[in-house]
Amino acid sequence: MSVNKTFHLSGVVPILATPFHPDERIDSRSIQQLIQFMADLNVNGATILGVLGEANRLTDAERSDVIRTAVSASRGRLPIIVGTSHEGTYACEELSRMAADLGADAVMVAPYAGPGLTADRIYALYERVALACELPIVVQDHPASTGVQMPTELLLRLIKDIPQVVCIKAESVPTAPKISALKAAMQRPVSILTGLGGLYAFFDLSSGSDGFMTGFAFPEILQHMVKAMQVGNISRVRTLYQRFLPLIVFEQQPGVAIRKEILHRRRLISSATVRHPGCPAARDHIAQIDSLINWIMPDCDIKKPLII
The pLDDT of residue 57 is 96
The pLDDT of residue 114 is 86
- The per-residue pLDDT for range 151-178, each reduced to its tens digit, is 999 999 999 999 999 999 999 999 999 9
Q: How many CB atoms lie within 10 A of CB 302?
A: 15
Q: Are 213 and 183 in contact (CB under 8 A)?
A: no
- The per-residue pLDDT for range 238-285, each reduced to its tens digit, is 999 999 999 999 999 999 999 999 999 999 999 999 999 999 999 888
Is 60 in a helix, a strand, or coil?
A: helix
Q: Are 225 and 214 in contact (CB under 8 A)?
A: no
DSSP 8-state code for residue 23: T
303 exposure class (CB count in 10 Å sphere: 0-12, 13-18, 19+): exposed
The partner residues of 140 in beta bridges, in order of sequence, read 169
Where residue 121 falls among pLDDT bands split at 50, 70, 90?
very high
> What domains, with CATH codes, occur in the chain?
11-218 (3.20.20.70)
- The per-residue pLDDT for range 50-90, each reduced to its tens digit, is 999 999 999 999 999 999 999 999 999 999 999 999 999 99
Where residue 116 falls among pLDDT bands split at 50, 70, 90?
confident
The pLDDT of residue 2 is 46
Q: What is the mean pLDDT of the chain?
A: 95
pTM of the model: 0.95
Is residue 31's pLDDT more than 50? yes
Q: Are 109 and 96 in contact (CB under 8 A)?
A: yes
Q: What is the phi/psi pair of residue 209, to 5°? A: -55, 140
Q: Is 224 left (phi over 0), alpha (psi -120 to 50) or beta?
A: alpha
- How far apart are alpha carbons 62 and 65 in whole angstroms? 5
The pLDDT of residue 308 is 82
